[in-house]
């Protein structure tokens, strides 16, 4: 009993409690830091994967059309039209730096809704396609909404159209082939391009086109030298040899309305297609924030991804 009474119950001292609390705070700080790093890594990986999927959808579709592009020489008809739009899509202070607009002929395999050879196939294998970037809500088909995004659209005009309420006209063969001004002939169809059925993918902030043209040049000793020209389609002369408008006819190439360039009688052997894809968070920020040009470039560099693809074109 004496021994039991002499024993005293002893608790933690203040110093021991402070040490324990310090260790706990240190462990929690390390845990939060590691979790934050892991979440940032997951967010970056998710953005890259999503951007890669969107870029793949855009580049794969454009590539398929370019790979089956149709051009016939020896005539004055227009077969291809490209320009960088002067009135680029986007909010007032954050418009797309380069929005390529394309119109050309192709042997598209998805003509007649992919029902080639069926009763829905009205015949013909040459279709016309058009590509444009818009800043709008692809779900409601309206612009000026809180949900506007940069979106890529593609319209396909079948070889023949009959009683199609979605696209008025008679089709590629009747309305578009054998025209000296393809862009003008295509306008009635292009007025319907920004419909949800023509939506390809979203968050495509920029689309750039560079043509690779092979041509021959006469040298001083009267020999012929084969050369390769790179011709970018840009809204401003940001790069050497850049043009705003590019037309391919059965007789040659017109760049900004002129057929006097060295490559005017050359042939397009390939095209480089580049798209810039924004993250979802970047789209939300661009709707609300105002940037100076320098700040905008810095922000886009951190929140966008660029993807390119070179497509070899069929030769007539």
Read off the pLDDT of residues 294-306 as tens digits, 9 standing for 90 and up.
888 888 888 899 9
At residue 183, the pLDDT reads 96
At residue 236, the pLDDT reads 64
pLDDT tens per residue, range 223-274 = 888 999 999 998 765 567 789 999 999 999 999 999 999 999 999 999 999 9
Q: How far apart are the first and last CA of the chain?
A: 112
DSSP lists the bridge partners of residue 217 as 225
The average confidence (pLDDT) of the chain is: 88
This prediction's pTM: 0.86
> Could you tell me if 54 and 201 are in contact, meaning their C-beta atoms sit under 8 angstroms apart?
yes
Percent of residues, the chain, with pLDDT higher than 90: 58
Structure tokens at 212: 């690779």
pLDDT tens per residue, range 272-292 = 999 999 988 888 888 877 788
- Name which residue leads in pLDDT, 211 or 7: 211
Query: CA 34 → CA 43, 46, 113, distances in Å?
Result: 14, 18, 51
Contacts of residue 171, defined as CB under 8 A and 6 or more positions apart, other chains included, come to: 122, 124, 157, 158, 159, 160, 161
pLDDT tens per residue, range 5-28 = 454 556 778 787 888 888 888 888
Residue 93 exposure: Cα atoms within 13 Å on the Cβ side: 13
DSSP lists the bridge partners of residue 206 as 276
Instruction: Output DSSP code: residue 143.
Output: S
Going by pLDDT thresholds of 50, 70 and 90, the confidence category of residue 215 is very high
At residue 275, the pLDDT reads 95
Q: Rounded to whole angstroms, how far apart are CA atoms 119 and 123?
A: 10
Report the sign of the C-alpha dihedral through residues 115, 120, 124, 129, in that order: negative
Strands of the chain (E only): list them. Answer: 78-84, 100-106, 127-136, 149-157, 199-202, 204-218, 224-233, 245-249, 252-255, 267-278, 304-312
Report the sign of the C-alpha dihedral through residues 245, 67, 65, 152, in that order: negative
pLDDT tens per residue, range 145-167 = 889 999 999 999 999 998 777 78
Is the per-residue pLDDT at 105 higher than 80? yes
At residue 1, the pLDDT reads 47
Which of 89, 83, 127 lies closest to 102, judged by CA? 83
Is the per-residue pLDDT at 119 higher than 70? yes
């Amino acid at each position: 009993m004496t021994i039991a009474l002499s024993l005293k119950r002893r608790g933690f001292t203040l110093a021991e409690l402070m040490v324990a609390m310090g260790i706990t705070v240190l462990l929690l700080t390390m845990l939060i830091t590691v979790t934050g790093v892991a979440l940032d890594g997951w967010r970056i990986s998710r953005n890259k994967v999503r951007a890669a999927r969107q870029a793949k959808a855009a580049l794969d579709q454009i590539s398929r059309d370019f790979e089956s592009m149709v051009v016939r020489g020896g005539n004055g008809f227009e077969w291809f039209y490209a320009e960088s739009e002067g009135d680029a899509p986007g909010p007032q202070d954050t418009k797309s730096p380069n929005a390529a607009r394309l119109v050309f002929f192709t042997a598209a395999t998805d003509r007649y809704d992919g029902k080639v050879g069926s009763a829905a196939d009205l015949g013909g294998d040459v279709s016309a396609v058009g590509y444009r970037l818009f800043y709008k809500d692809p779900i409601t088909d309206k612009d000026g909404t809180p949900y506007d995004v940069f979106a890529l659209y593609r319209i396909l005009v079948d070889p023949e159209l009959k009683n199609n309420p979605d696209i008025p006209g008679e089709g590629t063969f009747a309305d578009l082939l054998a025209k000296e001004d393809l862009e003008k002939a295509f306008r009635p169809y292009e007025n319907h391009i920004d419909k949800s059925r023509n939506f390809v993918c979203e968050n495509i902030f920029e689309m750039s086109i560079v043509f690779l043209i092979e041509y021959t040049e006469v040298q001083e000793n009267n020999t012929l030298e084969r050369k390769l020209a790179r011709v970018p389609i840009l809204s401003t002369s940001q790069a050497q040899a850049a043009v705003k408008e590019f037309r391919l006819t059965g007789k040659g190439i017109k760049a900004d309305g002129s057929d006097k360039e060295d490559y005017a009688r050359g042939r397009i052997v390939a095209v480089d297609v580049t798209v810039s894809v924004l993250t979802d968070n970047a789209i939300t920020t661009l709707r609300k924030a105002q940037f100076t040009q320098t700040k905008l470039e810095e922000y886009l560099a951190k929140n966008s991804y660029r993807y390119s693809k070179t497509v070899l074109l069929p030769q007539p």
